[in-house]
Amino acid sequence: MIFGTNSVFGKKMDMMERTLDAVRLRRDVIADNIANADTPFFKRSDVTFESQLRRAIDSEKEPEFPALLTDPRHIAFDEVIDYQTVKPNVAVEFDTSFRNDKNNVDVDKEMVDANKNALQYNMLLEAYSRNIKLMDLVIR
């Protein structure tokens, strides 16, 4: 991480760096899925990250209706989740099979996911670069 997370700018840049890491991991997982499209019994994997990050960011907002805990055994549902603890998760899909060899990789879907992932990576990299240029302009 280049910038401290004490500022809004630093937090934004840190989240972009973490998302770029997740997108790079997703690229590798998609490539692995495509490479094993003809491997019998291979199960495709997927990366989850953005929904977990969104949940952590949303948890920082003040809840409209705070939880009333009247017993120490109650579980607080409005606890703040530190976004820095959110990590990309690789999940294997065991529950589907498309072919007789029990492989569940759909190459067309993987190619669409790869293109979507590449667009997301390029967009994030462009936004990150733009923010670096703005910071450089402010420093000068």
Tokens (6 digits) for 37: 């499209």
> Contact, 116 vs 124, CB < 8 A?
no
pLDDT of residue 72: 83
User: Can you name the residues that pair with 125 across neighbouring β-strands?
Assistant: none
pLDDT tens-place string over residues 13-33: 999 999 999 999 999 999 999
The C-alpha angle with vertex 60 and arms to 57 and 62, in degrees rounded to 5, equals 135
Q: What number of residues does the chain have?
A: 140
Q: What is the model's pTM?
A: 0.82
Rounded CA-CA distance 35/111 in Å is 12
Residue from 15, 43, 41, 26 nearest 112 by CA: 26
